[in-house]
């Protein structure tokens, strides 16, 4: 991939896609192809094929997907399985047909088994039961990984699949119900601070442990893997920094300036008890995350305030 390569960034307005666009432009890659959802609906096979035929991208970062937090996955599993299977099938097939040189597919840590041994290694995929609340999404994503591997085996396509942990950063979805835990929490604490609420309720017990990765760190990992990784095996991307949800809440409260009481609603589900990725494979190749959770949270909250 060089500075003049034609690179299609699918999902460039999303959390990951916008970080990738920032990263590639900063590095001088200006031959980027982008289409908004309303210009190209990736669930439409004919439209996707036409786009690839007309523009012939050489490299593809597939960051378009139907993504959401636990509540959205619980309410709309049909959309999560339908949209994701169509988006990835259409893009991968068009990439094969129009001889894309390399494609990067985004899997996710949340598709590993609910009780995977910790830290989770790449070989733990499909070694146990999935977390029920996002099973439809997980099965779609696992199908995407299997498709990358099958297309490599049958057609020799250089399609790689990576497994990032929980991401956050500028451009996140801060919706209290549709968003992931961290941005939803920022929004909740901010609203509680504005209304001077003496108490704030959060889902679950606060005990589950999570690893968070700043999205610009993920963008550097995607770029690094696009340059240096050509294997069929999936590869984890994590920061190695792990916190309980209650520790995360305390950090968010401090950054937002909320001083009320936090009450844990244990009638609501906790999800997977622990989710830490073993990132030794990507670390051994030479990539490491750079941004601490505290620094990343401050930048994310600033972005939230400016884009409220
Ligand atoms: N967020 C995380 O914590 C996380 C963690 C691990 C892995 N990942 C993976 O990273 C990838 C990107 O996630 P993200 O967090 O960046 O999600 P996101 O912020 O929701 O972005 C997804 C993008 O895809 C676009 N899109 C959705 N359906 C589309 C369609 N039918 N046609 C064209 N575009 C469509 C969306 O457009 P609109 O904005 O117009 O809807 C949005 O720009 C996903 O594969 C996800 O599994 C995310």
The CA-CA-CA angle for residues 289, 306, 166, to 5°, reads 30
Q: Residues of 168-177 as b/e, b for ≥16 C-beta within 10 angstroms?
A: bbbbbbbeee
Q: Are 221 and 287 in contact (CB under 8 A)?
A: yes
In a domain, 20, yes or no: yes
Token pair listed for 89 = 């099938």
In a domain, 258, yes or no: no
What is residue 58's predicted lDDT score, i.e. its pLDDT? Answer: 98
Longest dimension (CA), the chain: 60
164 is in an annotated binding site: yes
Distance CA 70, CA 73 (A): 5
Distance CA 295, CA 293 (A): 6
137 is catalytic: yes
| Terminal C-alpha separation, the chain | 36
What is residue 47's predicted lDDT score, i.e. its pLDDT? Answer: 98
In a domain, 259, yes or no: no
For the chain, how many residues are written?
Answer: 308
Q: Is 74 exposed, middle or buried (0-12, 13-18, 19+ CB in 10 A)?
A: middle
Domain containing 130: what range? Answer: 7-171+212-241+275-290
What is residue 148's predicted lDDT score, i.e. its pLDDT? Answer: 99
Distance CA 102, CA 7 (A): 10
In a domain, 111, yes or no: yes
What is residue 272's predicted lDDT score, i.e. its pLDDT? Answer: 79
171 is in an annotated binding site: no
What is residue 213's predicted lDDT score, i.e. its pLDDT? Answer: 98
Q: What are phi and psi of 5, to 5 degrees?
A: -60, 145
Per the structure, the count of domains in the chain is 1
Closest CA to 185 of 199, 203, 171: 203
**3-state helix vs strand vs coil in the chain, percent to 5:** 45, 15, 40
Q: Which residues pair with 64 in a beta bridge?
A: none
Token pair listed for 213 = 């990765």
What is residue 65's predicted lDDT score, i.e. its pLDDT? Answer: 98
What is residue 80's predicted lDDT score, i.e. its pLDDT? Answer: 97
In a domain, 247, yes or no: no
What is residue 71's predicted lDDT score, i.e. its pLDDT? Answer: 84
What is residue 298's predicted lDDT score, i.e. its pLDDT? Answer: 98
Residues with CB under 6 A from ligand 1: 11, 13-17, 37, 41-43, 63-67, 83, 87, 106, 108, 164, 166-167, 173, 180
What is residue 177's predicted lDDT score, i.e. its pLDDT? Answer: 76
Q: Profile the chain (308 residues) by mean pLDDT over runs of 10 residues.
A: 97 97 97 98 98 98 93 93 98 98 97 95 97 94 98 98 97 86 95 95 94 98 98 98 96 97 92 91 98 98 95
Token pair listed for 149 = 């591997």
What is residue 179's predicted lDDT score, i.e. its pLDDT? Answer: 79
What is residue 304's predicted lDDT score, i.e. its pLDDT? Answer: 97
270 is in an annotated binding site: yes
| Protein residue whose Cα sits closest to atom 1 of ligand 1 | 167
Q: Which of 29, 59, 112, 137 is catalytic?
A: 137
What is residue 178's predicted lDDT score, i.e. its pLDDT? Answer: 76
What is residue 176's predicted lDDT score, i.e. its pLDDT? Answer: 80
Gyration radius from the chain CA atoms: 19
Distance CA 139, CA 119 (A): 21
Kindly give the distance from the C-alpha atom of residue 190 to the centroid of ligand 1, in angstroms, as a whole number. 24
CATH number at residue 97: 3.40.50.720
What is residue 270's predicted lDDT score, i.e. its pLDDT? Answer: 85
- Give the position of tokens 């939230």: 304
Distance CA 202, CA 268 (A): 9
């Amino acid at each position: 991939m060089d500075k003049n390569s034609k690179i299609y960034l699918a999902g460039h307005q999303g959390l990951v896609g916008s970080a990738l666009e920032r990263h590639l432009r900063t590095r001088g890659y200006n031959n980027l192809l982008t289409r908004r959802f309303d210009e190209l609906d990736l669930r439409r096979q004919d439209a996707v094929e036409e786009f690839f035929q007309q523009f012939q991208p050489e490299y593809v970062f597939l960051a378009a997907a139907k993504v959401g937090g636990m509540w959205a996955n619980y309410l709309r599993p049909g959309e999560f399985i339908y949209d994701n299977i169509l988006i990835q099938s259409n893009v991968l097939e068009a990439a094969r047909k129009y001889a894309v040189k390399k494609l990067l597919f985004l899997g996710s840590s949340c598709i590993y088994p609910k009780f995977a041994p910790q830290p989770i290694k790449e070989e733990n995929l499909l070694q146990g039961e999935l977390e029920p609340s996002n099973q439809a999404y997980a099965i779609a994503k696992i199908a995407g990984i299997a498709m990358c591997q099958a297309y490599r085996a049958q057609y020799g396509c250089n399609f790689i699949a990576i497994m990032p942990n929980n991401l956050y950063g500028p451009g996140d979805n801060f919706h209290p119900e549709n968003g992931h835990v961290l941005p939803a929490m920022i929004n909740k604490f901010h609203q509680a601070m504005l209304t001077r609420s003496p108490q704030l309720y959060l889902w679950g017990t606060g005990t589950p442990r999570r690893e968070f990765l700043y999205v610009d760190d993920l963008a550097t990992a995607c770029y690094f893997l696009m340059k240096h990784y050509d294997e069929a095996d999936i590869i984890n991307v994590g920061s190695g920094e792990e916190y309980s949800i209650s520790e995360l809440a305390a950090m968010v409260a401090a950054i937002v300036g909320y001083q009320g009481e936090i009450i844990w609603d244990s009638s609501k589900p906790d999800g997977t008890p622990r989710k830490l990725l073993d990132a030794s494979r990507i670390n051994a190749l030479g990539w490491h995350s750079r941004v601490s959770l505290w620094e990343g949270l401050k930048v994310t909250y600033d972005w939230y305030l400016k884009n409220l």
